[in-house]
Amino acid sequence: MWTGKHFRLKRAILAVTISDGPRRADYIPEGETVHVIGGPRQDDMLLVDIQWGGNEFSVFLVDLKSRGEEVNVTGA
């Protein structure tokens, strides 16, 4: 299960907003820490939902695995 984990990015990853408005693609830069809030979903094992910078995004699980390292975040 990935939900609740935090990852520090070793390289930038592509992310897509999951808000009700227009979808927006963005890169989350190297060195940032993201929080997994859901996924992977049963109907789509390729994506996980994350929170970063006060916004929610979907990212490819393979990117998070290969470009991030799990970190412990105290007080989260």
**Would 32 be classed as within a structural domain?**
yes
Which pLDDT band holds residue 75 (cuts at 50, 70, 90)?
low
For the segment 5-15, the average pLDDT, to the nearest whole number, is: 98
| Burial annotation 22-59 (CB, 10 A radius, 16+ → b, else e) | eeeeeebeeeeebbbbbbbeeeeeebbbbebeeebbbb
Please tell me the total count of domains within the chain: 1
Give whole-number Cα distances, 1 to 30, 37, 52, in Å.
24, 11, 19
**Would 17 be classed as within a structural domain?**
yes
**Would 74 be classed as within a structural domain?**
no
Q: What is the pLDDT of residues 16-67, one digit of tens each?
A: 998 888 889 999 999 999 999 998 877 778 999 999 999 999 999 999 999 9
Residue 74 pLDDT > 80: no
Residue 76 pLDDT > 60: no
**Would 49 be classed as within a structural domain?**
yes
- The answer, as to whether pTM is greater than 0.75, is yes
* End-to-end Cα separation, the chain, in angstroms: 17
Give whole-number Cα distances, 51 to 18, 21, 28, 67, in Å.
10, 17, 11, 16
Range of the structural domain that residue 54 is part of? 6-69
**Would 24 be classed as within a structural domain?**
yes
Query: If you ran DSSP here, which 8-state letter would residue 63 be given?
Result: H
**Would 60 be classed as within a structural domain?**
yes
Residue 11 pLDDT > 60: yes
